[in-house]
Every structure is written in structure tokens, then in C-alpha cells.
A and B are shown apart, each in its own frame.
Chain A
Amino acid sequence: GIQVEQSPPDLILQEGANSTLRCNFSDSVNNLQWFHQNPWGQLINLFYIPSGTKQNGRLSATTVATERYSLLYISSSQTTDSGVYFCAVVSGNTPLVFGKGTRLSVIA
């Protein structure tokens, strides 16, 4: 099945810093989603982005489907951005396959 790899596994940032999270996948996809898992365990939808670029406030994402990767950008990070960021993909008729996530800690 499709493999999803996320990097880095852990990231510590000073408040106000910018960061880039990466998601590589091993096959063509027809769905790619980025999620933020907050400290209470909830999975918050950030982006549905099988290709192209989207922006939502301080967050933006780019998926280059032909090169099989997606990037999530966080600008001017805040402590509330802390948590785990997951990339998940659908390839063909598969269900959502999640990566292992990037654990982000933003310190004041």
C-alpha cells in the first residue's frame, strides 16, 4: 500500500518563528489532508489539498502531486499551534492513510 512519511518527527520553535513540515508519499493520490491534533486529542481539519496551494491565515499548504510531496507552512507560530500535525492521503480506492505525524512544540 501507499507509504506516507512525515518530517521532521519533532520540532521545537520559539514563539513567532516560522516552520515548514513535509509529507512525502509513495504513489499518486486523489486526496491529501493536513490535520492538527490538539492536546485534547481532537483532529482538526487544516487543508484538503490533493494539489496546488492554499492559505488560511498563518497557515498555508502546497502539494506537488507530480513529485509526491506536500508542505505545510506555519508562520509567526503561537503556543496554541503546539500539537501533532498529520498528513493523510487517499490513493485510488484506499481509505485515508496517515503518516506518523510531526510533533510541534511552540515555546513562549
Chain B
Amino acid sequence: EPEVTQTPSHQVTQMGQEVILRCVPISNHLYFYWYRQILGQKVEFLVSFYNNEISEKSEIFDDQFSVERPDGSNFTLKIRSTKLEDSAMYFCASSVQGVETQYFGPGTRLLVL
């Protein structure tokens, strides 16, 4: 069964450094998403992406964040200058249509020191 993949599974970085989280959505899906989950809290929406542009973003998704689909398969989330409070699990998800089932990747656990 096709699945969403994410790399790396874990990343440790120093405050102020740039990080890029990578995702490969399911191949025939058209909608792509990033969510994050701070330890012990609920999952929060960051951004959705459709037709090569951002379709919606939350208040969390400020100028420090950017997304890109550099080729036909990868979908990336870049955090330009990490802060301690960016430490969280980051999930990528994809769906065929916007209101249909979203399939989540296994997540990247980011720790900012």
C-alpha cells in the first residue's frame, strides 16, 4: 500500500540554524500538508499546498517557515532560523482531494538546542 515517507526521522540542531524536513507524498495525491505536534500536545496545522502554491497557512507558519515542491515527488518544509520552541514532531500528509482522507507520514522529531 502506498505511504507517505519522511526524512530524517530525527534531527537535532542548534538554535539559529536552518533545517529542511523532507517528505515524499503518495504519488497520485494533489494536496500536501505540514502539521506539527509539540510533545504532549495536540496536532496543529501549519500549511497546505496545492497546484504548486500555498493554499492555506496557520498563524504558526510565519516568515521563518517556507515550503517547496522542488521536483515531482518531494515536498519540503524549511525553518530558516530555528528557535527552542520549534522543537516538535513534524508530520507531512497528503490527500487526493482537499476533503478526503489525509494520509500522514511517520514524522520527523526535531530537537532544537
Contact = CB atoms under 8 A, between A and B. Distances in A.
Interface of A: 30-31, 33, 35, 40-43, 45, 48, 86, 88, 90, 93, 95-101
A43 B44 CA distance: 13
Interface of B: 33, 35, 37, 41-45, 48, 56, 58, 89, 91, 93, 98-104, 106-107, 109
23 contacts: A31-B100, A35-B104, A41-B89, A41-B106, A41-B107, A42-B104, A45-B103, A45-B104, A86-B42, A86-B43, A88-B43, A90-B99, A93-B98, A95-B45, A96-B35, A96-B45, A96-B93, A98-B43, A98-B44, A99-B42, A100-B41, A100-B42, A101-B42
Given A30-B99, A41-B89, A43-B91, A97 B104 contact: no
A101 B41 CA distance: 9
Contacts of A86: 42-43
Contacts of A45: 101, 103-104
Nearest to B37: A41
Contacts of B91: 43
Contact of A96 (B89, B102, B106, B109): B102
